[in-house]
A and B are shown apart, each in its own frame.
Chain A
Amino acid sequence: MTNKAKYLMVLAGATFALSAQAQLQVEISGVGSNQIPVAIGPCANEAAAPAQISQIIKADLTRSGMFKVIDITPTSNLMQVDATGLKSLGVEAVAACAVVPAANGYFEVQYRLISTLGKDLSALKTTVPNQYGRLAAHKLSDDIYEKLTGIKGIFSTRIAYVVQQGKQYRLEVADADGEGIIPALTSTEPIISPAWSPDGTKVAYVSFEQRKPVVYVQDLRTRQRTVIANEKGNNSAPAWSPDGKRLAVALSKTGNTQIFIANADGSGLRRLTNGTTIDTEPQFSADGQSIFFTSDRSGGPQIYRMSVDGGEPQRMTFGSSYNISPRISADGKTLAYISRRDGGAFQLFTLDLESRQEQRLSDTTSDDSPSFAPNGKYILYATQNGGRRSLAVASTDGRVKQRLSIQAGNIKEPTWGPFMK
């Protein structure tokens, strides 16, 4: 880590009425290799908005590690922003915004992004329901990020994870910045392996509420829960196909854990792997044509790849005797996984599938459950922090790290949701 600059941002969660929910604390360390200087001031009439729009944008951009945020005075008229005058400060672009109150629980946001060379980079005018005030700010952050880096922003995406406090388990959904926490499922038995449907409206997971692991899909909008697999023995490790039409699961109905593929409603179950050892943690490739999975067929657990139609699996990992939890980036180029190295540390690694270049992304020792941000630039994972489980985010270039923790209890099994409208 070249830059030890550390921020502790305890983001206010008071706007949400769920007072029983523990607030997430976000801690950031490290910065990107090439930070883009961007100037942002408070929106004109910002107090009329239901959320602190400019504060949320600044926190998003800072957390990404890609920007150097420079504060400027508010702009009263978006059409009269003097961007070129800020060039001498080293600023590359200026983001200006204004809030206009609207009727019936809505508000309007206007926004402009201008380069200090005087070029208009983006402009938006949108009417938003008050309850989505924070989302409106995250969408502006997404736009600034995309216009200035060329990469789609992930600030308006959501994450899901499990909080364990004593014998209470909660599957929670939150914004990518840890705000806006909503409990999707509470139980007195463990919940593991949540997985977002590609459209972001459902979560598949494993619940132990029937005293053994059973796979469910829950529609977040309707509360409807569907049992996807409840065979003899264990039912676990659900993974969606990229088109959302199929689910891969790991079942032990034959004695040892093997990989099966079913339709998204649990029908049409068919066996994919055919071995006498452990095959688990299936993940569809980005094109949906192959399945990555963990198998101990060679002795210790390693990651393999095989066609969804069957055939001979190909071993992908070699650097250690223990490699688990494969996840594939959306562009299909990078494999993230957890590797146990000398001294017994479990750490987050990536493998470039083309160059076979391996990279270690964490310096902690008890990491698990990696998941890519939908733009492929960040990986969310679970780690150990002072005797408790917490979440962490690493940029795939290894330069930026964030840690998300709660005051009491363990937070684990994180999974990053997809892009949504």
Chain B
Amino acid sequence: MRNVKHVAFILSTAALLAACSTPAPETKPPVVEEKPVAPVAKEEPRVVQPVQAQVDELDVPGGKLANRSVYFDFDSYVVREDGKEVVSNHAGYLGKNQRTILIQGNTDERGGSEYNLALGQKRAEAVRKSLAALGVADSRMEAVSLGKEKPKAEGHNEEAWAQNRRADIVYKAK
């Protein structure tokens, strides 16, 4: 370990000396690269520049973007008041971030699989249109349906059904 540190010191010293002793080869003005990092770090090895990690607000647990589900009434594809806030939060995020999304519509288990598939599509479409009205480009959204085939809640009662009458906003991988 100690030897490694010595080698590193020698190398960096040599580099500094080389930089000092080499004259500018041409009179052409140097190209200045704009960088937020202060150049002082090169000359002052002990300087510490604090950095704030840019956490994607989409991933903040319990944050306003954590809720990505819009719920619906039985046999309805009208976005309710409680869903409008979810839609506007994600429209705001999509306005600042170039992400693409899939909107998956779902239904409860009652009724036929094909009508439910079409109903889930209408729910996904309703969310897609709400996002479009808030400025999200159509090219960044696809509305699909899973019908009643992939229930989130497995029960056979109103509580489970209410959970499953839903459209989910799914962010595609960057």
- Establish whether residues B112 and A368, one from each chain, have CB atoms under 8 Å apart when the complex forms: yes
- Establish whether residues A208 and B149, one from each chain, have CB atoms under 8 Å apart when the complex forms: yes
Report the minimal beta-carbon distance from A391 to chain B, rounded to whole angstroms.
14
A236 at the interface (CB under 8 A from B): yes
Q: A324-B112, A325-B112 are in contact. Are A278 and B149 (CB under 8 A)?
A: no
A237 to B112, CA, bound (A): 11
Chain B residue at minimal CB-CB distance from A279: B118
Chain A residue at minimal CB-CB distance from B144: A212
Chain A residue at minimal CB-CB distance from B77: A278
Report the minimal beta-carbon distance from A54 to chain B, rounded to whole angstroms.
40
A395 at the interface (CB under 8 A from B): no
A252 to B115, CA, bound (A): 12
Residues of B15-52 at the interface with A, using a CB-CB cut-off of 8 Å, are none
- Establish whether residues A236 and B111, one from each chain, have CB atoms under 8 Å apart when the complex forms: no
C-beta contact mask, B93-118 vs A, less than 8 Å → 1, else 0?
00000000000000001111111011
A338 to B109, CA, bound (A): 14
- Establish whether residues B145 and A324, one from each chain, have CB atoms under 8 Å apart when the complex forms: no
- Establish whether residues A233 and B75, one from each chain, have CB atoms under 8 Å apart when the complex forms: no
CB < 8 Å neighbour of B121 from A252, A301, A344, A387 = A252
CB < 8 Å neighbour of A294 from B115, B144, B147, B150 = B115
- Establish whether residues A280 and B117, one from each chain, have CB atoms under 8 Å apart when the complex forms: yes
A85 at the interface (CB under 8 A from B): no
A300 to B122, CA, bound (A): 13
- Establish whether residues A340 and B111, one from each chain, have CB atoms under 8 Å apart when the complex forms: yes
Residues of B43-95 at the interface with A, using a CB-CB cut-off of 8 Å, are 75
- Establish whether residues A346 and B114, one from each chain, have CB atoms under 8 Å apart when the complex forms: no
Residues of A240-291 at the interface with B, using a CB-CB cut-off of 8 Å, are 250, 252, 255-257, 278, 280-281
- Establish whether residues B144 and A257, one from each chain, have CB atoms under 8 Å apart when the complex forms: no
A190 to B106, CA, bound (A): 14
Interface size range on A against B: 35 or more
Q: A190-B150, A232-B142, A234-B145 are in contact. Are A213 and B117 (CB under 8 A)?
A: yes
Q: A190-B149, A322-B75 are in contact. Are A278 and B113 (CB under 8 A)?
A: no
Q: A190-B149, A213-B145, A322-B75 are in contact. Are A250 and B112 (CB under 8 A)?
A: no
CB < 8 Å neighbour of A366 from B110, B115, B118, B150 = B110
Q: A192-B149, A212-B144, A300-B75 are in contact. Are A234 and B112 (CB under 8 A)?
A: no
CB < 8 Å neighbour of A233 from B109, B119, B144, B147 = B144
C-beta contact mask, A365-377 vs B, less than 8 Å → 1, else 0?
0101100000000
User: Could you say which residues of chain A place their CB within 8 Å of the CB of B143?
Assistant: 233, 252, 255
Q: A190-B149, A213-B145, A232-B142 are in contact. Are A280 and B113 (CB under 8 A)?
A: no
User: Could you say which residues of chain B place their CB within 8 Å of the CB of A346?
Assistant: 110-111
A213 to B121, CA, bound (A): 11
Q: A192-B149, A234-B121, A387-B156 are in contact. Are A324 and B115 (CB under 8 A)?
A: yes
A23 at the interface (CB under 8 A from B): no
Secondary structure dominating the interface of B = mixed
A193 at the interface (CB under 8 A from B): yes
Residues of A338-381 at the interface with B, using a CB-CB cut-off of 8 Å, are 338, 340, 344, 346, 366, 368-369
A413 at the interface (CB under 8 A from B): yes
Report the minimal beta-carbon distance from A248 to chain B, rounded to whole angstroms.
12
Q: A208-B146, A234-B145, A256-B125 are in contact. Are A280 and B114 (CB under 8 A)?
A: yes
- Establish whether residues B125 and A193, one from each chain, have CB atoms under 8 Å apart when the complex forms: no
- Establish whether residues A257 and B118, one from each chain, have CB atoms under 8 Å apart when the complex forms: yes
Chain A residue at minimal CB-CB distance from B74: A344
C-beta contact mask, B114-136 vs A, less than 8 Å → 1, else 0?
11011101100100000000000
Residues of A300-348 at the interface with B, using a CB-CB cut-off of 8 Å, are 300-301, 322, 324-325, 338, 340, 344, 346
What is the interface of chain B, defined by CB distance below 8 A to chain A? 75, 109-115, 117-119, 121-122, 125, 142-147, 149-150, 156
22 contacts between A and B (CB under 8 A): A190-B146, A192-B117, A213-B145, A233-B121, A233-B143, A234-B117, A234-B144, A250-B118, A252-B118, A252-B121, A252-B145, A256-B118, A278-B115, A278-B119, A280-B117, A281-B114, A294-B112, A301-B115, A325-B115, A366-B110, A369-B113, A387-B156
Given contacts A233-B145, A250-B117, 9 further A-B contacts (CB under 8 A): A192-B113, A192-B149, A208-B149, A250-B118, A252-B125, A257-B122, A338-B111, A344-B110, A369-B112
* 5 smallest beta-carbon distances between A and B, as pairs: A257-B118, A190-B149, A278-B118, A280-B118, A368-B112
What is the interface of chain A, defined by CB distance below 8 A to chain B? 190, 192-193, 206, 208, 212-213, 232-234, 236-237, 250, 252, 255-257, 278, 280-281, 294, 300-301, 322, 324-325, 338, 340, 344, 346, 366, 368-369, 387, 412-413
